Amino acid sequence: MRNEQPGDDRKGRGVHGDGDHARATGEPQEKGNRGACGLEVRDEGPDPARGAGGRKNPGVGASVPEPLTRKVLLQLEPPRLGLNQADADRLADALARVVGGTPDIPLGVMRGIPAVCRDGEWRVTATLGRTEQGWRLVTVEPGNTVARHFGVALDFGTTTVAAQLVDLATANVLGTAADRNGQVSFGEDILTRIHHAGTPEGLRELQRAALDTVNDLVDRLARAAGITGHAVTAVAVAANTTMVHLLLGLDPSRICREPYIPVVNRPGFLRAGEIGLAVHPEAVVYCLPSVGSYLGGDAVGGILVSGMHRGPELSLFVDIGTNGEIVLGNKEWLVACAGAAGPALEGGVVRAGMMALPGAIERVRIDPRTRRVTYRTIGNLPPLGLCGSGLVDCLAEMLLAGIVDRSGRFTDGADRFTVVPARESGTGRDIVITQTDIANLLRTKAAVTAALETLLDAVGCRLQDIACFYAAGAFGQHLDVESAITIGLYPDLPRDRIVRLGNSALEGARRVLLSSSDLREVEEIARRITYFELNVNQEFMQRFAGSRFMPHTDLDLFPTVKARLAARGLATA
């Protein structure tokens, strides 16, 4: 049964959608807009027309600039004696007059052209997908279907996968969905998964888990919008280097071994069918380019969203998750580093840690006099554990209350602190932070601090020179900035310099899905970045060993934290 939408006219009776559509006839183009299928539109990223700092992003914000796929309405002249050009050739020539070059026509699409042309009485809609050389024919439909044009933006994260269904005719987001990455069952961190992928069977298992997660999200979004996954003709993917490899079924084993070389950093334009995505098999799939072993297209998309690569001021981009990524620079230069930090800040190596799910403690406050703990959980449910933001809060509050010293050791000689007693918890057990937990958290914090200092030293800059600090990712969106600064996870900058980007990877994927200029821009960003491989950087290793103090070994670098500690008699002013 055919599921028609407003503006759909298989026999040519409907209207044209706004956006980048063209016809091969001289008839005036009608205008009309397709509705959003009654689904709530949720755009969780920043204003797509501007960078996070308020700068206008070139090529974004106009009426659907140039998406990954383009729909073209054609009125072909029917064949007759004396006009006996082949059907596929007739279609290709008509498209060439519109797009300026003859598109490639896959054999599977070619087989259906005769029937489609005759069903549509020679009025057809062709969907063209971008390639490195020009265009490829994705599908041909009878009649006018220019208003039925859909794409998916995908943030394929190590722990969480988020997707948006986008109307490419209007640029509207029709729905957003997220789920846990099914690969987590094979290992919570990147290195464990790379090891699991060391055999052909292990690699197949991880790719299948990835595809199952993505395809389920696509199916949920498509059903909610009243379409099928087959209607999706474009997919833009933002992911770290390892996740791209596992999604595409590529061997990631050399990413974690010197000299740390991936199979590919720029996969280019791929076909959905050869990957296994449950969209149109000829749909264009574009993975935002990676830069190095641990710096992927998710970070490159975040740079695009921030606009830091266009301004003269020194900016810092940080996305801390299972994979931590740091980028420093401006319009003149960009330097970056990243590493498989492990899931410490997502609760993976902390006894009471958990993902940011209902029941997770996300906010903690400790009275410095009574040491009474107050907290807030996601969904206001009985507490089950601490997610990343709750862990950072808890550690910062323990420092400010004098429960631990700046090295993270308990001041009273204890080996644990009870955050929630068993009688209040949803598990019936105490929720505690142990000395081992603190050591694990401080290792992750030390890795971030050491990486940032390594980048700053490499370019001859200081923390005080940073004009804008972009905190990216879900963790950065929900983390309490003061707590992050207190433990030294974030630099102690004037607070008006700190910008929360939210899920900049997903927003970057959406922009690339909709705009060829943004696609070219992410390619240029990736080319401009100088990548520091931390695994062999001796300065990083030395700084890491000395960075396990809160907020820093040099307290003068964190003046507001120093003042707060001094006010409580925990430091010298």
Give the model confidence (pLDDT) of 440-492 as tens digits. 889 888 888 889 999 999 999 998 899 999 999 877 888 999 999 999 999 99
Question: How close are the terminal C-alpha atoms of the chain, in Å?
Answer: 75
Half-sphere exposure of 334 (CA within 13 A, CB side): 26
Average pLDDT, the chain: 87
Per-residue pLDDT at 287: 98
At residue 45, does pLDDT exceed 70? no
Per-residue pLDDT at 346: 56
Per-residue pLDDT at 349: 67
Residue range 258-287: average pLDDT?
Answer: 96
Per-residue pLDDT at 102: 95
Worst-scoring range by mean pLDDT, 5-14, 88-97, 278-287, 429-438?
5-14
Worst-scoring range by mean pLDDT, 78-92, 151-165, 417-431, 532-546?
532-546
CA-CA distance, 103 to 405, in Å (whole number)?
A: 66
The architecture CATH gives domain 149-342+441-567: 2-Layer Sandwich (3.30)
Looking at per-residue pLDDT, the higher value among 323 and 419 belongs to 419
- Residue 201 CB partners (closer than 8 Å, separation 6+): none
The amino acid that residue 348 corresponds to is G
Q: What is the pLDDT confidence band of residue 13, given thresholds at 50, 70 and 90?
A: very low
At residue 329, does pLDDT exceed 50? yes
Q: What is the pLDDT confidence band of residue 243, given thresholds at 50, 70 and 90?
A: very high
pLDDT > 90 in the chain, percent: 73
Per-residue pLDDT at 57: 39
List Cα–Cα distances, 488 to 107, 206, 224, 274, 493, in angstroms: 58, 35, 43, 45, 11
222-232 tens-digit pLDDT: 999 999 999 99
CA-CA distance, 260 to 275, in Å (whole number)?
A: 24
What helix, strand, coil percent values describe the chain, rounded to 5?
35, 20, 40
Looking up tokens 């009649």 gives 143
Question: CA 337, 340, 341 angle in degrees (round to 5)?
Answer: 95
> Token digits for 553?
């070994």
Hey, CA dihedral for 557, 563, 569, 573, is it positive or negative? positive
In CATH, which of 1.10.760.10, 3.10.20.880, 3.40.50.300, 1.10.260.40 is domain 22-33+68-142? 3.10.20.880
Per-residue pLDDT at 542: 84
Q: Which class for 38: exposed (0-12), middle (13-18), buried (19 or more C-beta within 10 A)? A: exposed
Per-residue pLDDT at 49: 37
Q: Count Cβ neighbours within 10 Å for each residue of 257-278 and write b for 16 or more, e otherwise.
A: eeebebeebebebbbbeebbbb
At residue 522, does pLDDT exceed 80? yes
Per-residue pLDDT at 345: 58
Looking at per-residue pLDDT, the higher value among 395 and 354 belongs to 395
Looking at per-residue pLDDT, the higher value among 78 and 25 belongs to 78
Numbered ranges of CATH 3.30.420.480 in the chain: 149-342+441-567
pLDDT > 70 in the chain, percent: 87
CA-CA distance, 242 to 247, in Å (whole number)?
A: 9
Q: What is the pLDDT confidence band of residue 106, given thresholds at 50, 70 and 90?
A: very high
Per-residue pLDDT at 324: 81
Per-residue pLDDT at 385: 94
Query: Which residues, listed in sequence order, are joined to residue 319 by a DSSP beta bridge?
Result: 325, 472
> At 252, is the secondary structure helix, strand, or coil?
coil
Numbered ranges of CATH 3.10.20.880 in the chain: 22-33+68-142
Per-residue pLDDT at 357: 86
CA-CA distance, 36 to 364, in Å (whole number)?
A: 40
At residue 185, does pLDDT exceed 60? yes
Per-residue pLDDT at 26: 30
Per-residue pLDDT at 220: 98
Per-residue pLDDT at 410: 96
Per-residue pLDDT at 11: 38
CA-CA distance, 190 to 305, in Å (whole number)?
A: 25
> Token digits for 167?
């109307």
